[in-house]
Structure 1
Amino acid sequence: MNKPIRKAAVIGSGIMGSGIAAQLANAGIPCLLLDIVPKQLTEAETAKGYTLDHPAVRNRLATAAIAHLSKIKPAPLYDESFAQRITPGNLEDHLALISEVDWVIEVVVENLDVKKQLLATVEQHWKPGIVISSNTSGISINAMVEGRSEEFRKHFLGTHFFNPPRYMKLIEVIPGIETDPSLVKELSRFCERKLGKTVVLAKDTPNFIANRIGTFGLLVTLREMAEKGYTVEEVDAVTGPAMGRPKSATFRTLDLVGLDTFVHVADNVFANVDDEAEKKVFEAPEVLKEMVTRRWLGEKTGQGFYKKIKGANGSEIFALDLSTMEYRSQKKPASASLEAAKLAKGAKAKTKAMISGQDRYSQLAWDVLKQVLVYSAEKLGEIADDIRELDEAMKWGFNWELGPFETWDAIGLVKSVDKMEAEGLKVPAWVKEWIAQGNTSFYKKEDGVLFQVMRGEYRRVEIPQEVISLSDLKAQNKVVKSNSGASLIDLGDGVACLEFHSPNNAIGNDILSMISQSVEEVRNNFEGLVIANQGRNFCVGANLMMLLMEAQDEEWDEVDDIIRLFQNTMYGLKRFEKPVVAAPHRMTLGGGVEACMPADQVIAAAETYYGLVEVGVGVIPAGGGCKELALRASQQASVGDADLQPYINHIFQTVGTATVSSSGHDAKRLGLLKPTDRIVIHPDHTIYEAKQAVLRMAAGGYEPIPETKIRVVGSEGKAVLQLGAIGMRESGYISDHDLLIAKKLAHVLAGGDVPAGTYVTEQYMLDLEREAFLSLCGEPKTRQRMQHMLTKGKPLRN
């Protein structure tokens, strides 16, 4: 690539095309979205007097696709306003505009002839230097550009996004024979850094990597099921979380993908491989062909392997009995191996427990797994050059927790190969040679450095500098301090990282203690502090169990001490004389948000779901959350001496409805993040970016945030807030207890019963928070909400 990608064009506005355009828009890349010109008018267009020549008609498909983005769930855009970055057009009037972009992505129907014809037309307007790629799930990249110029072929490659493009982290990059290697490298880096993707390099073979291995696995599962007489529910019980796979397992996955789509993907391999044994595997089973004929395609037609049926007691999900082709109530499988897998911690332990049993379910798990592992080893070198490409493709393309070779290591490479060969399975020669050299795993770690087998020896896996692994730093003895809830880790260059690692990263006394210890350590020995972790979620809030136990025992002094400690710790963090940057990701709720608020800056992952949700358990934010939002409102309203009440109204609604952002950008829109906070699109880069932010502040002569007075709306503003809540109660939208909580929240956010316009201290606001929290903990219905959340994992509306 001779120039950076600043503008793109997507050709094809279907689900994938519009989704890719949306992800480009999410990354700040303006995008042209083109589709064919409609041949007929709609009734609405006719009523408006339009003709086929009207621009609104000619651009209809792309325009409609952009409008539809706001209706899709889950949302393709981080913020609905980003749709403005996508410009609709059509292939007849606007194709010449591709000469002005840096990257053109073809996303039309999966048909080789259609793609070849389109690319021939594209080349008429293409200029050297513009990257051209096809988003195909398995059609040959080289075949698509037969007949195109040498220069065009040098700039052409495959970029296989997975659906939905915002949420699926994988992109398979497939170079053609003549693709410029430097383009492959630079585009891959762009996709990682700007689009937040994990990139794997695939070879130009049928279905590339993920769909090749994944389709094989699904087909062998279907065959084992048919031969051994397993039910739909039994297969899904075995091939889901029990083996480190998604909850959708086998048949829910097929229903989601669409059976017709799956058969098409399988047929693509069947038609394009020469090995007869492999062909036989990829021949779609008769039951699938029959279901496609009946239009039982899954979610899109309302029935597939599962069907939702309404009954007298509501809707129930029925499963298909393949022996009768009729739907029946599900029967939940149970066995010792399933129970052992359920109790095991982590994908490695679960998979090992599942295949180690002695029942028919463990046999199914082993019979499927062994074939997938051997097939993956057979395809190494043909579909990709190294095992990590295969593992990453399956983890991020099919949501497996472990890739095939990671799984093989987890269950014991040597022992499992012995068992496979004893059962007559032919294990690839390179695997046996590797074991014969004395090796017992495909991967190994030494001092936090990862190595993988490659060409008969261990080679270091190169990790980009933007990816900082806290577990690797721990392995390198970089832990400075640690307790049961958190650790302080040396990130290098004078920056330390405070990592939460309590259950669910819930904030309790152990984490608060480590925050205080970390502040002292950083004060003496570091330039600044990053608050981050690499758990599934950043933090789900405070330790609710501890609070509930104290409230049930009516130990109010203990509850007061807990909240006071939380407040004082956060306040101390805010006034710390060295820079602090928080890097939240995914679920960051309640106390997790309050742990980020004292930071000088928040570097949030784009997929951060951020919210003060305390009202869901019957209380209000009391770790400084209300105080911080009231302070921000006061500061915002001070610009131009604006009316403060609308700002407080917005906060009251956001906190009072326990609103959680749909992305990091949405958290900014809600005011939960500051305008100066940053969003990083790649989740693995947040700690690196946070570290850089600390270093910049330290180098710039950091000054701590000074104590600030807060202008409040007082008793008059409180009345406005409470009046709105009373209206909600009278309309039946909230309960009496909701109203009580809302009144307490209004009292705090308004600054109590002082006159409007009064300036109060931060400590005054903290005291209001704590008093309201304590009084609500004394309410039986609040304790019911806490208990319900702990036992059911969802809020109770009582």
Structure 2
Amino acid sequence: MSNFIVKKVAVLGAGVMGAQIAAHCVNAKVPVVLFDLPAKEGPKNGIVLRAIENLKKLSPAPLGNKDDASLIEVANYEDNLDVLAGCDLIIEAIAERMDWKHDLYKKVAPHIAPNAIFASNTSGLSINKLAEGFDDELKARFCGVHFFNPPRYMHLVELIPTTGTRPEILDQLETFLTSTLGKGVVRAKDTPNFIANRVGIFGMLATIHEAEKFGLSVDVVDDLTGAKLGRAKSGTFRTADVVGLDTMGHVIKTMQDTLQDDPFFSLYKTPDVLAKLIEKGALGQKTGGGFYKKVGKEIQRLDFATGEYVAGGAKAADIVARILKEKDPVKKFKAMRESTNPQAQFLWAIFRDAFHYIAVHLDTIADNARDIDFAMRWGFGWSVGPFETWQAAGWSQIAQWVKEDIDSGKALTNAPLPAWVFEGQVAEKGVHTAEGSYSASKNAYVPASDLPVYQRQQFRAKVAGSATTDPKTAGTTVFEDESVRLWHADDEVLVISLKTKMHVIGEGVVKGLQRGMAEAEKGYKGLVIWNTDAAEGGAFSAGADLQSAMPAFMMGGAKAMDPMVRDLQNVFMQMKYSNIPVVAAVAGLALGGGCEMMLHASKRVASIESYIGLVEVGVGLVPAGGGLKEAAVRAFLEAKGNDILQFLKTGFTNAATAQVSKSALEAKSMGYLKEDDVIVFNPYELLHVAKTTARAMFDAGYRAPMRRPITVTGRYGWATIRGQLVNMRDGGFISAHDYKLGDMIAEIVSGGDVDQGSVVSEQWLLDMERKAFIELLGNPKTQERIMGMMQTGKPVRN
């Protein structure tokens, strides 16, 4: 095993993609230098400096922590080419023009270090043509590395070799992209637009074509082709507006220029409606209008017939929405195909077109069917890939229907389905099986990559129909009920996975945590809190389960809640002082009680995409699971004898304003994660890193922290914070109830009505939290907020 350690990356081109790729390298602690042309006026690196400034304003944020923008080194092609000699990976990300790219390559090639990897982030140009003119040595280290926009959030990276790329170069790069940058890598063949854009843009063109044929408006199509199909909720036309209609036109042109002998060629032209919009400069979201246009508060849609904007907001027909809710894919597709409703016929048509296309092109664009499914899931946000959909709906029946449509002239082209669709094992089982996924070019089932980096992923991304270990049932179950599952994989670490909706914490989870700690202390090296949907965007925990506490509240009023809050506090304190390490594997939302559970773990291992915060004020409550107590404890420890109040302000403000971190990196600067907590970039590696951390802590002789008294700021701290709250209330920035909540939080984090410098116990602070929480439950304003949140899911301002 040879380590390929990327000590420094160079990104050539400070445009939208280049700058964001550089930002994500910085997120991952990879030193990076960003190049562009020298500016004609002002400072020579002006173009790069402006791009870096712009990174701080973009939403969603490319940087996990805005302050890290300053860590991107700036350079231009005139003065700084010597810097390239110290880079192990060089990614070119300039505009999609072959001639411009070749000019740049001539300039930089002499400066590239002898074992550096050189890659282009082109979204569709030929990698072999880009490498023309390189000597064989550089050609062997050159490949395509296509990130999807926005690079921090989109899981997909396509890796495209030339005919001469050395295989170990691809393995090294795949390992770096997977583990360090957290990506899902798919290897593509060097065909125009590679896999995801080839299939995705074809799908958009087919959708536009079928929408016109069936006379459907853009808003109805978007409702049909968005969340109802398990795809990006922006649907088809809204997605095109977001991507930019000029960008889409550009990708279509690549297909038009390079795919003349493709049986679907007649579809590869910019649709008239799109061409007219581009001509008018209506390029989508960036110009304020495309298929949609915002007029005042109203979103209007383009009427294809008149070219004018009209009122939008139309939805799918009820009968079609009902068909799409059918859980059994076999029944769903039968209903779609047999329905006389034009919307259902449209849906069958776009599925048929997609199945037809991927079957015809599988042998030329991808190594196997799995890579096409992953490309669409990770690059276009589909919850299920097209081959998975086909197989689940009944492989041979769908194939037969597609063939009938081709034979009767209903399909987009009369090209027949390839013979392999109807033959041998594929006809029986489909393309995904226990031994691997079907490769048309090899006429064999190909297993998933066995690179060592994938051994870090106990539950790798899987395609439906493949040999799959389900994380919900994997390993050996020690205990399971409807709230939690305790299990292990024979590796000395006990795992607790929460099973409640959004992993909220009720009585069952509290008991499960107690049981887990007792079990782990008996015979394991640690306890890891990890949820089975951590890699698929699930929550770590959305907080305490208010819904299940309602009956007790209705019967016995606020006082009836006291034992529940006490139990929650006790279990978190038990975690903090457990004799074996308890590691929280955090990904997604960790809010309220979920944040408090994480704060009390011995250590946290967090996915970069972790959104952490104490949000109780949103429902008119204050944190009562020890979140405010921890703010006071951490301020005291950090102050090291200095004025504690200075260190308390962050913790107070976070809780009083319900701030949620936009990344794990930001959670560190907010104090929710400690400096030595671990941040993981690939969510599929979270469990591995959490277990490794727990074992390492145990092997290093882990002892629970000693319980120590806490010095507090008392009346002085409370009064100082209250002064600021009074100004905010009197200035109309916060309501009277917000003021009350802020004042209660200030009282707790300051330790209450005691002298400055008084010493209190953690229990003292917990008792204050619980008392305030119970008092607020009886407050009508708080009850309004709770009911509002339960009914609408949105916070009530009162």
TM-score range, shorter chain: over 0.9
**Which secondary structure state, in structure 2, belongs to the residue aligned with residue 24 of structure 1?**
helix
Aligned-pair CA distance for 1:381: 2.5
Inter-CA distance 114–604: structure 2 relative to 1 (3 Å threshold): same
Mapped pair 1:27 → 2:14: no
Give the Cα–Cα distance (whole angstroms) in 1 for the partners of residues 245 and 362 of structure 2.
28
Give the Cα–Cα distance (whole angstroms) in 1 for the partners of residues 696 and 766 of structure 2.
31
- The one of 625, 628, 633 equivalent to 2:630 is 628
Aligned-pair CA distance for 1:325: 0.7
Inter-CA distance 133–687: structure 2 relative to 1 (3 Å threshold): same
Aligned-pair CA distance for 1:377: 2.2
Contact 1:337 1:356 in 2 (8 A): no
**Which secondary structure state, in structure 2, belongs to the residue aligned with residue 607 of structure 1?**
strand
- The one of 605, 610, 613 equivalent to 1:611 is 613
Contact 1:112 1:144 in 2 (8 A): yes
Contact 1:337 1:353 in 2 (8 A): no
Contact 2:368 2:446 in 1 (8 A): no
TM-score by length of 1: 0.93
Aligned-pair CA distance for 1:749: 0.9
Aligned-pair CA distance for 1:547: 3.7
Map residues 263-662 of structure 1 onto 2, 5 A cutoff: 263-310=249-296, 315-340=297-322, 343=325, 359-424=341-406, 426-434=416-424, 438-439=428-429, 441-444=430-433, 451-454=436-439, 455-456=442-443, 458-462=445-449, 464-469=454-459, 472-476=470-474, 478-535=476-533, 536-638=538-640, 641-662=641-662
Give the Cα–Cα distance (whole angstroms) in 1 for the partners of residues 613 and 767 of structure 2.
22
Unaligned runs of 5+ in 2: 461-468
Contact 1:652 1:749 in 2 (8 A): yes
Mapped pair 1:257 → 2:247: no
Give the Cα–Cα distance (whole angstroms) in 1 for the partners of residues 175 and 334 of structure 2.
36
Give the Cα–Cα distance (whole angstroms) in 1 for the partners of residues 137 and 170 of structure 2.
15
Give the Cα–Cα distance (whole angstroms) in 1 for the partners of residues 417 and 173 of structure 2.
36
Mapped pair 1:157 → 2:143: yes
Larger mean Cα displacement after TM superposition, 269-278 or 670-679: 269-278
Contact 1:10 1:34 in 2 (8 A): yes
RMSD: 2.1
Aligned-pair CA distance for 1:434: 4.2
Inter-CA distance 554–779: structure 2 relative to 1 (3 Å threshold): farther
**Which secondary structure state, in structure 2, belongs to the residue aligned with residue 277 of structure 1?**
coil
* Aligned residue type for 2:512: M
Contact 1:78 1:663 in 2 (8 A): yes
**Which secondary structure state, in structure 2, belongs to the residue aligned with residue 492 of structure 1?**
coil
Larger mean Cα displacement after TM superposition, 135-144 or 495-504: 495-504
Inter-CA distance 629–302: structure 2 relative to 1 (3 Å threshold): same
Mapped pair 1:109 → 2:95: yes
Give the Cα–Cα distance (whole angstroms) in 1 for the partners of residues 777 and 687 of structure 2.
36
- 1:36 corresponds to: 37
Aligned-pair CA distance for 1:339: 3.0
Mapped pair 1:192 → 2:178: yes
Contact 2:579 2:703 in 1 (8 A): yes
Give the Cα–Cα distance (whole angstroms) in 1 for the partners of residues 525 and 88 of structure 2.
41
Aligned-pair CA distance for 1:347: 9.7
Aligned-pair CA distance for 1:274: 3.3
1:696-717 alpha-carbon deviations (Å, 9 max, x no partner): 0111222122222111111221
Give the Cα–Cα distance (whole angstroms) in 2 for the partners of residues 342 and 116 of structure 1.
49
1:128-151 alpha-carbon deviations (Å, 9 max, x no partner): 211111110000111112111111
- 2:113 corresponds to: 127
Inter-CA distance 518–402: structure 2 relative to 1 (3 Å threshold): same
1:67-100 alpha-carbon deviations (Å, 9 max, x no partner): 2211111111111222222111211111222112
**Which secondary structure state, in structure 2, belongs to the residue aligned with residue 328 of structure 1?**
strand
Give the Cα–Cα distance (whole angstroms) in 2 for the partners of residues 80 and 393 of structure 1.
30
* Aligned residue type for 1:516: Q
Mapped pair 1:232 → 2:218: yes
Percent identity between matched residues is 38
Give the Cα–Cα distance (whole angstroms) in 1 for the partners of residues 72 and 121 of structure 2.
18
Aligned-pair CA distance for 1:794: 1.6
Aligned-pair CA distance for 1:412: 2.2
TM-score by length of 2: 0.93
Aligned-pair CA distance for 1:462: 4.8
Contact 1:244 1:350 in 2 (8 A): no
* Aligned residue type for 1:24: C
Give the Cα–Cα distance (whole angstroms) in 1 for the partners of residues 724 and 330 of structure 2.
52
Contact 1:473 1:479 in 2 (8 A): no
- 1:703 corresponds to: 703
Inter-CA distance 347–168: structure 2 relative to 1 (3 Å threshold): farther
* Aligned residue type for 2:760: V
Inter-CA distance 489–400: structure 2 relative to 1 (3 Å threshold): same
Contact 1:2 1:129 in 2 (8 A): no
Give the Cα–Cα distance (whole angstroms) in 2 for the partners of residues 2 and 526 of structure 1.
32
Contact 2:438 2:446 in 1 (8 A): yes
Inter-CA distance 160–364: structure 2 relative to 1 (3 Å threshold): same
Contact 2:472 2:532 in 1 (8 A): no
- 2:463 corresponds to: none
Give the Cα–Cα distance (whole angstroms) in 2 for the partners of residues 739 and 356 of structure 1.
60
Give the Cα–Cα distance (whole angstroms) in 2 for the partners of residues 430 and 221 of structure 1.
26
Aligned-pair CA distance for 1:361: 2.0
Inter-CA distance 281–109: structure 2 relative to 1 (3 Å threshold): same
Aligned-pair CA distance for 1:444: 4.1
1:486-505 alpha-carbon deviations (Å, 9 max, x no partner): 21121331111111121111
Give the Cα–Cα distance (whole angstroms) in 2 for the partners of residues 279 and 214 of structure 1.
15
- 1:715 corresponds to: 715
**Which secondary structure state, in structure 2, belongs to the residue aligned with residue 786 of structure 1?**
helix
Contact 1:340 1:353 in 2 (8 A): no
Contact 1:242 1:338 in 2 (8 A): no
Aligned-pair CA distance for 1:437: 5.6
Give the Cα–Cα distance (whole angstroms) in 2 for the partners of residues 732 and 605 of structure 1.
38
Give the Cα–Cα distance (whole angstroms) in 2 for the partners of residues 32 and 150 of structure 1.
26
* Aligned residue type for 2:25: L
Give the Cα–Cα distance (whole angstroms) in 2 for the partners of residues 768 and 569 of structure 1.
17
Give the Cα–Cα distance (whole angstroms) in 2 for the partners of residues 414 and 706 of structure 1.
65
**Which secondary structure state, in structure 1, belongs to the residue aligned with residue 482 of structure 2?**
coil
Contact 1:242 1:351 in 2 (8 A): no
Inter-CA distance 209–749: structure 2 relative to 1 (3 Å threshold): same
Inter-CA distance 25–430: structure 2 relative to 1 (3 Å threshold): same
Larger mean Cα displacement after TM superposition, 183-192 or 720-729: 720-729
- 2:12 corresponds to: 11
Inter-CA distance 357–572: structure 2 relative to 1 (3 Å threshold): farther
Give the Cα–Cα distance (whole angstroms) in 2 for the partners of residues 587 and 515 of structure 1.
19
Give the Cα–Cα distance (whole angstroms) in 2 for the partners of residues 169 and 202 of structure 1.
15
* Aligned residue type for 2:794: K
Inter-CA distance 96–292: structure 2 relative to 1 (3 Å threshold): same
Aligned-pair CA distance for 1:173: 0.8
Give the Cα–Cα distance (whole angstroms) in 2 for the partners of residues 599 and 744 of structure 1.
26
Aligned-pair CA distance for 1:458: 4.7
Aligned-pair CA distance for 1:415: 2.3
Map residues 781-796 of structure 1 onto 2, 5 A cutoff: 781-796=781-796
Give the Cα–Cα distance (whole angstroms) in 2 for the partners of residues 587 and 664 of structure 1.
11
Give the Cα–Cα distance (whole angstroms) in 1 for the partners of residues 501 and 254 of structure 2.
45
Unaligned runs of 5+ in 1: 46-55
Contact 2:87 2:113 in 1 (8 A): no
- 1:51 corresponds to: none
